[in-house]
Amino acid sequence: MPKPHNPYAYIIRIEVRIVGVEPVITRTLELPSDLNFAQLQEVLQAAFGWTDSHLHQFRVGDLIIGAPEAIQDAAYGSRVFEATDVQLKDLTFPYEVDAKLTITYEYDFGDDWQHQLVLRRAETEDELKYPRCIAGERSGPPEDVGGYPGYTDFLEAWLDCTQEELKAMRRWAGKTFDPERFDLDATNKAIAKAMRACRGDYRQRHIRD
């Protein structure tokens, strides 16, 4: 007997692209609709290989979502909505076929990495575990490389350097770093590890506790 259709049982499929980088760096993620934005931050960090060493925020229209204690300026800044209080299912999608919603994830306010997130609702498959990554292109940039212009210079040097210079760059960026590499299995293992560690909140808050 077929399972009754539940209109409230769905996942969110997100196509993520780091803005300004060519060739593109992307990840396609499938997430449970009850995932909150603190958990979403942890998934994104794991998916791109970021190390959560800098501040971040999400922009949903005119709203800012993140960790208020880290980024909210009570005197002058906009109100920051607590990330654990907002879930993906709280977002309002347009009333149209193949409705999508575009939001922005900003990481490292110095390097200013902007990630464009395009969200769509999709049907849940019972045998699958979420969150998960289903596709991706290229490795995420190294931390503190200097944003888009710095990474462009880094890639130019990477492609036109001696063997010794390449060894030095690998020591700085990581011994296994390869700008063209994307490992789906490793990415999903990193996401699963991050989800276990965060326990529904930011991992950094657990570390401080």
What is the residue-level pLDDT of the chain in tens, covering all 209 positions?
444 445 557 899 999 999 999 999 999 999 999 999 999 999 999 999 999 999 999 999 999 999 998 888 765 567 999 999 999 999 998 888 788 999 999 999 999 999 999 999 999 988 899 999 999 999 999 999 999 999 998 888 877 777 677 677 777 777 778 899 999 999 999 999 999 999 999 988 876 55
Q: How is the chain split into domains, by residue range?
A: 10-138+182-205, 140-179
Which among 9, 43, 2 is positioned nearest to 121, based on CA atoms? 9
Which among 203, 190, 199 is positioned nearest to 47, based on CA atoms? 190
- pTM across the whole model: 0.91
Residues 6+ apart with CB under 8 A from 81: 63, 64, 65, 66, 68
Domain 10-138+182-205 has CATH 3.70.10.10: no
